Amino acid sequence: MNPRKESLQFKIHATITETEQPKWWEKNGGPNMVDIHSTQEFLNALSEAGDKLVIVEFYGTWCASCRALFPKLCKTAQEHPEIVFLKVNFDENKPMCKNLNVKVLPYFHFYRGADGQLESFSCSLAKFQKIKDAILMHNTDRCSIGPVKGVGDVNLETASAPKNKQAESST
């Protein structure tokens, strides 16, 4: 066999190996879609978002519903560059997910600046309109009313509410 031909075959094979496609959850959904790998990254991303709407998707790499929904979620992120989309791998972040009451996948949390968590729900591809409706409801211009106080059971700041504030009565 011609040595030059063997070399050419090797180069072609090496090129194919180097361009292996990313796994579905590793695909880039755009500059406003961020992978979260720890509780600290999650808290930092929420803090850095300021008063922007933040949509957090909790997913599993093994979850067929998560995989089916992902392309539509990426398209929505591209259509809404003003919204921050965070992707949290359930298996990488089990303690945080447990603290945030994530029990089924895919699961979504909506956050906004000083208002903290606005809404949370499970959603499949068949019910994607639920996400669009939540975006319509929560993606409005607003002014800041102060720093974020908390995210579910994960506190963003250690300071507690003022101690001299009286409890409100419902009578």
Catalytic residue numbers?
63, 66
Q: Which residues pair with 70 in a beta bridge?
A: none
Q: What is the DSSP string of 145-156?
A: -SS--EETTEES
Partners of 84 in the β-ladder: 54
Q: Comparing C-alpha atoms, which of 69, 82, 50 is closest to residue 121? A: 69
Residue with tokens 């031909």: 5
Q: What is the dihedral of CA 63, 130, 142, 100, to 10 degrees?
A: -40
Q: What's the CA gap between 140 and 159, in Å, rounded?
A: 29
The whole-angstrom separation of Cα 106 and Cα 126 is 12
